[in-house]
Structure 1
């Protein structure tokens, strides 16, 4: 047969060697097997996921402890959400100072039961944002300055006494705790959110009381903090809260390191007096914000009604 004269075949000639499969066929067969394996694996995975999910659901249904744990998590989430929402309403004066808090209305608007609402309000009461009157319910804390000066005077007495005792009783490592605490927060202090600034400031002053070695001073200062915390937060958000606070804290730390009890107490007293002055101004502006939100229009209307 003359090969040169043979026409070119349309399909390639496959040489079949006994004992071996054609390369193309083998490749196709491997592909089919791989696809089949992949499908079986995918089906198996989906089946396993279904089984695991069903087992988890069955376990939660059949195991009371798991069901109780899940319910506890849901309740905690609801309570935290209620706390954050109500706190925001308070800080933004959407709930006005002195106003009675309607738990039923809050429950409906937040879509939760009254239990998480009550838990949130109790937490806010412990933080000084609201007050609880027996048989009447929760009220938004008043912005009145009545009693405020007495509390700050008491705070000044406690803190000055604590500083002097700290200088007498604390060892060098304890004094270094105060210095380290302030150095760790001072750089970012003025740029922090109001809640963080408030917490760090309270921590600074409570540490001085703790280092005095007198737990009663710590307890009394903590009690005062709870009663003025709401008003202090307003003051921290006010423009009057400036970098002078940083300077005073740094000077107090320096006096502690030198164990200069008299100068440190004097610095603390001046620091608290400066805070009182700034707080009074912040309260005045806050009252205008609450009762005269539209450039004093509401306040003018009230005055006209009073004079009529």
Structure 2
């Protein structure tokens, strides 16, 4: 039996879910008092969870203003997806050589979970199952440090993923592409798996280019809009 989450883990999971579900929108202030009250927790675990999200780039903190959900930035998106291409290609090439019956069953199980969530129009679960699907493909590489970096990159683009999955056409394309990826994983064709994963990522980037638009900030600046009026107080 898995251990129950700590209060901080619970709050972090709920904030992630709210960002994915578009309950917290980009550039939207996060009112700590109301969020803590809604979750039934004190502000201490909430502040700790927000610090984690800030380190991941999902929220922005501005002195005397407080936290906001990070505004979407095309520059940030392109950088993260380029890093994912480099690291995930390496992981996939190594993982495919280690696929056995257990590893392939996990991939197919998560693929079915994505389909089930799509049929229920449960976008939050579809996005979560999609993440599990991709990590089922990559984790057999047996490189935990590499996987930690890749997870961080995924965390920083959750808000973008939510935007992408809001389109029915994109959701349908994800399912079709996953089918091809599963077949290639069964064949243990490393070069083709890398190619399909690259095309899969590129379709997301191409779609999000139109949604996110041109980044208005100069290169090197972190994105984020005006924050709320709330200030950060220490525990």
Q: Is the 8 A contact 1:124 1:130 kept in 2?
A: yes
TM-score, normalised relative to structure 1: 0.54
State how many pairs are aligned.
Answer: 208
- Matching residue of 1:201: 130
Could you tell me which runs of 5 or more consecutive residues in structure 1 were left unpaired when the two chains were aligned.
1-75, 285-308
Aligned partner of 1:270 among 171, 186, 199: 199
**Which structure dedicates a bigger proportion of its chain to helix?**
1
> Offset of 1:174 from its aligned partner?
2.2
- Structure 1 residues 262 and 88, CA gap change in structure 2 (3 angstroms): closer
Q: Does 2:170 correspond to 1:219?
A: no
Q: Bigger shift: 223-232 or 172-181?
A: 172-181
Alignment partners' CA distance in 1, 2:110 and 2:41? 40
Deviation at 1:87, TM superposition (A): 7.4
Q: What displacement does 1:277 show?
A: 1.4
Q: Tell me which of 147, 155, 180 is aligned to 2:76.
A: 147
Q: Give secondary structure in 2 for the equivalent of 1:165.
A: helix
State the alpha-carbon separation in 2 of the partners of residues 278 and 212 from structure 1.
29
Q: Normalized against structure 2, the TM-score is what?
A: 0.69
Alpha-carbon distance between aligned partners in 2 of 1:94 and 1:103, rounded to the nearest angstrom = 15
Query: Distance in 2 between the 1:172 and 1:194 partners?
Result: 29
Cα distance change of structure 1 residues 192 and 125 upon mapping to structure 2, 3 Å threshold: farther
**How far apart, CA to CA, are the structure 2 residues paired with 1:188 and 1:104?**
32
Q: CA deviation at 1:123?
A: 6.7
Deviation at 1:157, TM superposition (A): 2.0
CA-atom RMSD in angstroms: 3.8
Pick the aligned partner of 2:180 from 251, 267, 277: 251
Listed one character per residue, the Cα deviations across residues 142-173 of structure 1 (whole Å, up to 9, x for unaligned) are 12212211111111222222221112233343
**C-alpha separation between the residues in 2 aligned to 1:259 and 1:80?**
36
